[in-house]
Amino acid sequence: MPEFRLRRALPEDLAGAVAVWERARWDARQPRLVERTKYSHADNLRHFRDVVMRDNEVWLAVEANAIVGLLALGEHEIDQLHVEPRCQRRGVGTALLDRAKQLSPEGLSLFTHQGNEQARAFYERHGFRPVAFGVSPPPESEPDVKYAWEPSGTS
């Protein structure tokens, strides 16, 4: 099995990171949301460059010089965690999530869509618990769930 490594994202990683994000969203059975919001590839590049990479610490999983996963970590919050669909179930997401826990040992939170059963099961397997249900802000306006993780021994 090929091996991957984790490293901090560089500005030149933008296109590769966005490509993984786009494929992972489509694979997560969110094509209706992707179609409804009508964001172009250029819009996604701009959003990652001007928001995600500016406001978060971005980590990549890289295998043979190809980006196979990404983590965007804000202050105690996971903003993005996506894995290339062909690389899922190989430990990439777990490694990125473990990195987030190492960088935020006092706890983490994140949001995902209520209908994203694969992501919800993944987070719950890794100790995250649902703490609130609501609706994501426009333009998504989709039912979402907030998850929280606290290290063992905290209340």
pLDDT at position 78: 98
The yes/no answer on whether domain 5-149 falls in CATH 3.40.630.30 is: yes
Q: Any idea what DSSP says for residue 49? A: I
Report domain extents, the chain. Answer: 5-149
Q: What is the pLDDT of residue 1?
A: 46
Q: Strands (DSSP E) along 9-142, which ranges?
A: 57-63, 66-74, 77-83, 108-113, 129-135
pLDDT in tens, 59-75: 999 999 999 999 999 99
Q: What is the pLDDT of residues 107-120, one digit of tens each?
A: 999 999 898 899 99
Q: What is the pLDDT of residues 7-29, one digit of tens each?
A: 999 999 999 999 998 888 777 66
Mean pLDDT of 139-154: 87
User: What is the rounded (10 degree) CA torsion for 98, 110, 68, 142?
Assistant: 160
What's the pTM? 0.89
